[in-house]
Amino acid sequence: MDKDFVLLHQVHPVKLAFDVAAAVASNVLLWRHRPCVGLVVRFAGPMVGSAVVLRFADVGRLRRRPAGQYIVHNMPPTSQFLRLAGDAAMAYGSWRRNPKLMAAGLGIIVLGWSRGIFSRTFQEVERA
């Protein structure tokens, strides 16, 4: 297992499906003020997804795909932190029944995934 193995598994379709499904289900549960079940779903779902992908998937193959290349080059710890912070904001927004805060959390998550887009834009500006 190389240093990028755990990073690469984050773009596997099964892992992404677990993450999205857990976030949606958790948001519904938190909106209904069911914090224990909501938080268990929010954390256990992605952990199960990671375990399944790391155990059964050929994660090394992802390195040769565009999504794998993107995440290896554009997902430093700061971007991962942004994604986590956005998820926390979305969960808190669900608890507070505040769609604007949920949308802001989603925007922060998108920002965390978008580092490569912004870095290419900045590189193009620097070249001009």
| Arithmetic mean of pLDDT, 3-12 | 90
Instruction: Check residue 106 and give its pLDDT.
Output: 97
Alpha carbons within 13 A on the beta-carbon side of 20: 9
| Arithmetic mean of pLDDT, 76-99 | 96
The C-alpha atoms of residue 4 and residue 13 are separated, in whole angstroms, by: 17
Instruction: Check residue 125 and give its pLDDT.
Output: 46
Q: Above 80 in pLDDT, residue 119?
A: no
Q: Above 60 in pLDDT, residue 121?
A: no
Q: Above 70 in pLDDT, residue 111?
A: yes
Of the candidates 121, 124, 86, the residue with the CA atom closest to the CA atom of residue 106: 86
